[in-house]
Amino acid sequence: MGPLTAAGTRRRPAPGAGFTLVEVMVVIVVIGIVATLVTVNLGGEGTRDLGREAKRLAGALEHAQALAQWQSETLGVSTDGPGYRFWRRDDADRWTALSGDDVLAPHALAAGMTLAPHRYAGAPVAPDAILPFRPSGRNEPFAFTLASAAGTARVDGDPIGRVSFAVAGPGTDLAATPR
């Protein structure tokens, strides 16, 4: 009888001969995960706060657009630097502050954050403008810029009521990029 192992089988490497490819890849993946967690946690409370405010504004803008359709009235939004508020157009075609809706209540941003309208219908917007949302649901595209020491966020709305946002760290100017 011959040997109990086949002629083409691999022999085990001698102790201390090295690592297998799988072992090296597992170590690289673990290092990558740890590095990502450290970057996210160190990257900051400020960036997280900026993202949270951008998400809150995006949700309020979508809600205002839906409410304008549902109630068949023109609603609007304005910014004053450290905050924003929503408006209702009355029968005399004047803007009056909206009340009675918790989502659309006036909102003050966290300390150090500012909000400004960036574009409406493809054109620059005056800082004190009220951007309208029509009862028809067909609105002009718009963009707001939210800024803080931690970075910049851009909140964009499209003609059919979808609102998105993007957040970038310091040194990245989202306001300069067209959308």
Report the share of the chain in percent with pLDDT over 70: 82
Pick from 129, 125, 82, 128: which is nearest to 106 by CA?
82
For 75-94, what is each residue's pLDDT tens digit? 999 999 899 999 999 989 99
Return all residues near 77 (Cβ < 8 A) that are at least 6 apart. Answer: 60, 61, 64, 84, 85, 86, 87, 130, 131, 133
Euclidean distance between CA atoms 131 and 159, whole angstroms? 13
pTM confidence score: 0.71
Domain boundaries of the chain, sorted by first residue: 45-176
Fold for domain 45-176? minor pseudopilin epsh fold (3.55.40)
> For residue range 120-164, what is the model confidence (pLDDT) as tens digits?
999 999 989 999 999 998 999 999 999 999 899 999 999 988 999
- The tokens of 176 are what? 């300069």
Pick 37 or 31 by higher pLDDT: 31
Res 56 pLDDT > 90? yes
Pairing, β 95-97 against β 83-89: antiparallel
**Any residues with CB less than 8 A from the CB of 158 and at least 6 apart, and which?**
141
Q: What is the predicted pLDDT for the residue at 177? A: 47
